[in-house]
């Protein structure tokens, strides 16, 4: 849990972090960064080191505002990942939608507070993900972990995530993951650590509010 503050500082500085889920779940490492800071350079970096399948976790409330319905009526995914329809930014600067420049613009559009449904076209090249309203206490996935990290960092609750892979296309794990993190000077946190930090943070907030009420 000692790494969580470092991860939050990295996110505030516009850098990605690596989040590892439970070994008995997907046991995968995702690179996560704040969507509001998704520059062309960082998106290109993420594409280069991952499967290139970029997703954008956001709240149900924001998804509703942007009119992003679920991709399918009956979700058969093993972990119930809540994909919506894919989107591109409705911007004159968008070309085909697949380049790092185009995808970074779409990601930032999803994160912008003043964005509405008219600022997006459907389908596109970015896949938003609806986070559960109950967050990590309801679902221990990278989607919810990303939103919780943004909340703790006091950033817009929209992130960009992708699964790290090796040069041969396999999921990055073990020593190869450790070496990648060291080489790129990244912070690694586990979802279980985020949950513990979240609980401590919420308890601290409750305590502060109680003390304030007693004054």
Instruction: Name the active-site residue from 26, 102, 144, 190.
Output: 26
Q: How far apart are CA 78 and CA 59, in angstroms?
A: 21
Is-catalytic flag, 144?
no
Which of the following is catalytic: 3, 6, 28, 83? 83
Residue in the block written with tokens 């939103």: 147
User: Of 21, 102, 142, 144, which residue is the catalytic one?
Assistant: 142
Q: Which of 21, 30, 102, 156 is catalytic?
A: 30
Catalytic annotation, pick one of 148, 163, 190, 197? 163
- Is residue 178 annotated as part of the catalytic site, yes or no? no
Q: Which of 49, 55, 156, 197 does the annotation list as catalytic?
A: 55
Report how many helices (DSSP H) and strands (DSSP E) the chain contains, helices first.
7, 7
Contact 124, 106 (CB under 8 A): yes
Q: Active site residue: 21, 49, 88, 156, which one? A: 88
163 is catalytic: yes
Active-site residue 196, yes or no? no
83 belongs to the catalytic site: yes
205 tagged catalytic? no
Residue 199, phi then psi, degrees to nearest 5 = -65, -45
User: Buried (b) or exposed (e) across 116-126, using 16+ Cβ within 10 A?
Assistant: eeebbeeebbb
- Give me the active site residues, please: 26, 30, 55, 83, 88, 125, 142, 163
């Amino acid at each position: 849990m000692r790494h969580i503050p470092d991860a939050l500082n990295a996110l505030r500085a516009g850098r990605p972090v690596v989040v590892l889920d439970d070994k008995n779940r997907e046991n995968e490492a995702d690179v996560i960064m704040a969507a509001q800071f998704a520059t062309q350079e960082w998106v290109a970096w993420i594409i280069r080191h991952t499967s290139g399948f970029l997703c954008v976790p956001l709240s149900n409330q924001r998804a509703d505002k942007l009119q992003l319905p679920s991709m399918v009526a009956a979700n058969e995914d093993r972990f119930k990942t809540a994909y919506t329809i894919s989107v591109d930014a409705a911007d004159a600067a968008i070309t085909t939608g697949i380049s790092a420049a185009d995808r970074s613009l779409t990601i930032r559009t999803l994160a912008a507070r003043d964005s509405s449904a008219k600022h997006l076209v459907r389908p596109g090249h970015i896949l938003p993900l609806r986070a559960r309203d109950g967050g990590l206490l309801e679902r221990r996935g990278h989607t919810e972990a990303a939103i919780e990290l943004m909340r703790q960092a006091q950033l817009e609750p929209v992130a960009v995530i992708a699964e790290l892979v090796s040069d041969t296309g396999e999921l990055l794990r073990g020593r190869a993951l450790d070496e990648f993190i060291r080489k790129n000077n990244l912070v690694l946190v586990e979802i279980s650590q985020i949950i513990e930090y979240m609980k401590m943070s919420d308890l601290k907030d409750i305590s502060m509010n109680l003390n304030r009420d007693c004054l």
